[in-house]
Amino acid sequence: MKQSLVIIISVLLLAACTVRAPQLDMARQAIPSGGGDVDVEQFAWQMTFNDTEARLYAITVGPGIVFANEHGLEVAFDGWDVVIVSGMPGTLGVIRVDKSTQPRVHHVQGLNESFEVDCEPPMQAGGGWRVRCQHRGNDRVYAMNHVIDVNSAGRITRIEASLIPGVGPLVLTPLFDIGE
C-alpha cells in the first residue's frame, strides 16, 4: 500500500511537471520564421545586457510580452517590469524577479544568489514611467531603477530594467518604425 502511494504521487508529480509547460516554451515556438506574408522585422527589438547584444522578437503571451529569438534567449515583460531572463550566454543562468513579496526578490541562478530590491510605486515622468528601486548591499546601496519610455502615440520606445546590483540595466528598444 505504502509503495503504491509513493508510485502514484511520483507519477502525479512527474505529470504535473510535463503538463505545465512554461510560457517561454510557447513563445519559443511562436518566433516568426520569416515565412509567409508576415514582415517579421515589425516585431524586432534590440536587447543589450551584460556585454550581450541580440535581436529579439516581441510575442504577446497572456497578459505580457516575451521577447525571444531562435537561439533560446528570452526576456519576459509583464507590462511594468522584466520578470524573467533566460538563455543568456555566459554563467548568469535564469534571472527571475519575484514581485509577490515586498521587497521584491531578484533570483540569479548562475550566481546562486538572490537580492532583495525595494521599489517605490511607478510614477509618470516625462514621456513614460519610472520605478525607483534600490538594493542595500553589505557595503553600499545600489540604484536599480526601471524605465519605460513611451512616444506621443502611446507606444513603448524603450524598456530599461536593472536586474543585478552593480550591473548595467537590460535595455530593449524597437528596431521597427513605431510611428508618432
pLDDT in tens, 118-160: 999 999 988 899 999 999 998 899 999 999 999 888 889 999 9
* 68 grid coordinates: 525571444
pLDDT digits (tens, 9 = 90+) for 19-47: 223 444 444 444 445 555 667 788 899 99
180 pLDDT above the threshold of 60: no
Q: Give the residue numbers spanning the domain of 125.
A: 23-31+40-173
CATH number of the domain to which 169 belongs: 2.40.360.10
Query: Distance between CA atoms of 30 and 28, rounded to whole angstroms?
Result: 5
pTM for the model stands at: 0.77
Residue 133 inside a domain? The answer is yes
d(CA 158, CA 148): 6
Residue 78 is assigned to a structural domain of this protein: yes
Residues for the chain: how many in total? Answer: 180
CA dist 128 → 67, 105, 154 (Å): 20, 24, 9
